[in-house]
Structure 1
């Protein structure tokens, strides 16, 4: 397909997503657990260096203001919420706890969080993976007290739970060799530990009557500007030893999700391999309309990867030409493409055994 046509289709997809849906929502609510890839403002309320509550973050968002999202605009769950016919999901710490504010979903994600509770702790406060699940449990309990157990259970079992976590266990734990972890675990064994821990929490969520879960894999973090700078790559080549860990983790998690689907017959669990979707964008960047693939739009140092995005003066003028927004996070244009793939595989298949659209209309492929 001609490159200009592909770019045109992406733009049309983004523009259409700005139009609010008047149809009945495809799910009653959308709940989000994760890290900075999906944090919609949790860390604004915490004492941490991992904050995106200042310009130029949010400059291309609907309000053109920083919201706490680690992007120039929308994050993937924003695009998916609109696909589901739901409003953007508010952060758990950003609302007053009233059930009417949470009835369409809550975002518990916190930048710096990992599967291991202490991952990212050198940045300051964050809400860990297990703490986020406890917050979700508390929300469910509030629903039960307000609407009764049967109605609350029906709402939760028909809602979508989206999980995007794990990358900080590499960035802020394994690759930093916290607690001498490199000498205690080979990458494969560390991956097994993380995957088995995530499996346990998925079963705990199932026991809370969650029945529709989207589990996101790891992105090719070895291609992030920070590691291009740190490892001193000359021509923007990805750091393969880091990417190999992401590939292994995704392989394990896809297998675990397949086995859980066999075990938990009344559950729908999707695994989405963000590595596959992201590498398709990196390899075919011309077709997607990206001119700059290794340097971040905003940052400092070679590849803009040495230091995080702190001020508008550090940012490029047009983020849509860039794959990377800052040293670790993609631009909202990339987020839109990945969301399209999660929804229906529009650009490339990366979700198994079905897409989110298939899940909500109960038509597994």
Structure 2
């Protein structure tokens, strides 16, 4: 049987499962709708005139589904979103919304709206010229939502979205790195807004965005907080830090935001009937890998595997002329900004069935199996 015929059979089986109201067997995830930035972008930026792209080698060198060719993922292999979808039984990687092939029944497996450079605020990432902000990503989901109605009919569509789909949000890092902390573009805002005022603005916008997804029938959410952005190879390189040092200000801003995000998740769980918001403590998860990297089989948590410039290869993004490490599975960071697939696997594992300090009030497996 050729691959096209096999894919068709999988689609038919999936459609029948949706039609009879079952879950596709064995607690399989119906769909994964992914929102966020370059940490989970699966190729949307390939279809934008933007300075933020990962469609060149050696990005994707370990991504088996493409035979090691770049797909627009900002890592050497799978993103956290890819790994989580696989582990939860999703039949197909969530396709990028902007890909012309993301049409018809394939959207019932999920759609990826994430965009490198995107943020909660619409002004975030202007330095890249084009990117999809969170507001635009939700606009695009609204289009998908109407397409699902046409595919399944209103009643089955609502059931598919509410009961069988998980909405994953990984956003916020760029709002600091490529907005508030970028003097060229944000000097005016930083003069007029204190860090707390800026964080409050972010939380207010995110509250509205998540509520809007709820109004479009989203009920199962996983919300990631901002990681230790002061510890990425780029920050360590430009600030000429020692291996075990991180830049204080970005991490302090992330922690201020994360504290208020945790409160927001609790409020939304209390105030939106039928919704289940899971909080992913990405900051502590990644900090654990950085601090105790050798315990997890890594040899470095400071140097980018693929990059150029400075002590930690942290200035020039990954591309054909970059230095490339031979032991990719031994690096926490793939490039100056993004984790390697090996790190993504460990992060995803904790979100799927991990410690409550990393994922609460339930794991992603529990969220998937929740009967609303």
TM-score by length of 1: 0.90
Partner of 1:18: none
Describe the superposition over 1:295-348 as per-residue Cα deviations: whole angstroms up to 9, x where unpaired.
1111111111111112165211111111111110010000001101111116x8
Counterpart of 2:83 in structure 1 is 79
Q: Equivalent of 2:247, from 227, 239, 249?
A: 239
Q: Does 1:60 align with 2:62?
A: yes
Partner of 1:342: 351
Q: CA deviation at 1:110?
A: 0.7
Provide the residue aligned with 1:261 in structure 2: 269
CA shift digits 1:85-144 (9 cap, x unpaired) = 112111111243422121110001110100111211211211121111011011011111
SS at match of 2:110: coil
Report the number of matched residues.
342
Residue 304 (structure 2) aligns with: 296
Residues 96 and 60 (structure 1 numbering): CA distance in 2 closer, same or farther, change over 3 Å? closer
Kept in 2: contact 1:219–1:246 (CA 8 A): yes
How far the C-alpha of 1:61 sits from its partner, in A, is 1.1
User: Once the 2 structures are TM-superposed, how far is the Cα of residue 196 of structure 1 from its aligned partner?
Assistant: 1.5
Is residue 123 of structure 1 aligned with residue 104 of structure 2?
no
Q: Deviations over 1:345-364 (max 9, x none)?
A: 16x84112111111112299
Post-superposition, which runs of at least 4 consecutive aligned residues in structure 1 deviate over 3 A?
22-25
Identify the match of residue 274 of structure 1 among 268, 282, 294: 282
Question: For residues 179 and 327 of structure 2, what CA distance do their matches in structure 1 show?
Answer: 33
Query: Matches of 2:305 and 2:125 in 1, distance apart?
Result: 24
Shift of 1:191: 1.1
| Equivalent-residue separation in structure 1 for 2:105 and 2:47 (angstroms) | 21
| Structure 1: unaligned runs, 5 residues or longer | 1-21
Q: Which moved more, 1:258-267 or 1:22-31?
A: 22-31
In structure 2, distance between residues paired with 1:298 and 1:272: 27
Q: 1:228 touches 1:236 (CA, 8 Å); kept in 2?
A: no
* TM-score, normalised with respect to structure 2: 0.88
User: Mapping of 1:133-152 within 5 angstroms?
Assistant: 133-152=138-157
Written as runs of structure 1 = structure 2, the 5 A alignment for 1:1-365 is: 23-62=25-64, 63-86=67-90, 87-158=92-163, 159-177=165-183, 178-179=185-186, 180-302=188-310, 303-311=312-320, 313-345=322-354, 349-362=357-370
